[in-house]
Structure 1
């Protein structure tokens, strides 16, 4: 059972690290990372393959690009400030989420 918790722990932490790292890169590099994200996804997904690719990209690194697109209506400096706040909130939220999920998993098993 310890091995299960090790792999669950590792998977959750890795997922959060990828999400936060990509969001931080979007904060620093902005449109460069957004173009890379858009290059890796399909605009109007029609086939099952395209929808699968979009789903995987959205699950792995999709939170940062989603928030950046929402913040495009703001001026450059506000967008960067809001994105910084979002990355910090995501970092704190991920720690809380991790502790709650792992606490529940340990109590159940």
Structure 2
């Protein structure tokens, strides 16, 4: 009935999985609904943030949704077809890296604390 170190490790692993999967899922929606999702992201970021609350909102948004927007703006100079192909390649690489990073963090947590 008590909170154990195994429970803490499980919560951290779930948090990491949540962040990585949210980044990937938002990237997938950018691939499908390009301008709508980019507009939503730009609308939800304060530029420049003036208060502490605005800074916290920016950190939260960039932490959960920032990678897709960042990658898409970097390849924005190409035409539509090339941009889609490059973004899908980047999204596949991000998916593989997310899974790898999850297993590395999971193994480190279990190796250190268990």
Shorter-normalised TM-score: what interval? over 0.9
* Length-normalised TM-score, structure 2: 0.90
Give the aligned CA root-mean-square deviation in angstroms.
1.0
Alignment match, 1:82: 86
Q: Runs of 4 or more off by more than 4 Å in structure 1?
A: none
Alignment match, 1:102: 106
Question: 1:11 is matched with which residue: 15, 24, 28?
Answer: 15
Alignment match, 2:64: 60
- Structure 2 unmatched ranges of 5 or more: none
Distance 1:46 1:69 in 2: 24
- Structure 1 unmatched ranges of 5 or more: none
Instruction: Give the deviation of 1:50 after TM superposition.
Output: 1.9
Distance 1:36 1:95 in 2: 27
Aligned length: 109
Alignment match, 2:55: 51
